[in-house]
Amino acid sequence: MSAISLAPRALYEEVAELIRQRIFRRELEPGSWIDEVKLAQEYGISRTPLREALKVLAAEGLVTMKVRRGAYVTEVSERDLAEVYHLLALLESDAAAVVAERASDAEVKELQALHAELAGAVADRDRFFAVNERFHMRLLEIAGNRWRNQMVADLRKVMKLNRQHSLLKSGRVEESLAEHAAVMQALAARDAEGTRARMQEHFRNGLEAAA
């Protein structure tokens, strides 16, 4: 029996990821127009896969398509942020409560190790947020609801559009770490409702810093 040949990742998906990372790095600023001709030339591709990539990013909320004007990096309003944080608080606090109740001791230790790594990254803003995202996504994986995981992943992409502004708030990284410590303390104590409350507080404070 011959081996099955798997198709390589579609070109438009690779292009979408390249543009997505440029948006997250603020190389493409919120509100800025995306020059399709320039990008197509830069990547050495036709405009067809580029436009398909932009459709993917539009579906994620990172790009806004305007009739007869082209594609723009989405600008996040205060209302957008409030709505995103509200949903993340609901989804992730519920996941945290599930983890407090059901996670194995090994899984709790894994989260504690990630928290320790986070504490060691306070001086490096980019690394701090990379580890922070790993912590949150691992907690969701342990909670084990793939539909919730997908919703959170999409919402977090929109949240990243405003990330740099929240990082500039003096002391916010240290506050975030302290909030994580409170979550971990409740989680290690297997206090489901306490863990839920601490995670909701974490997102409330995050919204205040991001607004």
- Identify the structural domains of the chain with CATH numbers, from first to last: 11-73 (1.10.10.10), 78-210 (1.20.120.530)
pLDDT digits (tens, 9 = 90+) for 114-144: 999 999 999 998 899 899 999 999 999 999 9
DSSP state of 136: H
- Helices 125-143 and 172-188, packing angle to 10 deg: 30
182 near 198, Cβ under 8 Å?
yes
Q: Which residues of the chain have pLDDT under 50?
A: 1-7
> Helix (H) and strand (E) counts for the chain?
10, 2
Q: Distance between CA 209 and CA 204 in Å, rounded?
A: 9
Residues in a beta bridge with 70: 66
Can you tell me the distance from the alpha carbon of 181 to that of 112, in angstroms, rounded to the nearest whole number?
A: 9
Q: What pLDDT does 167 receive?
A: 54
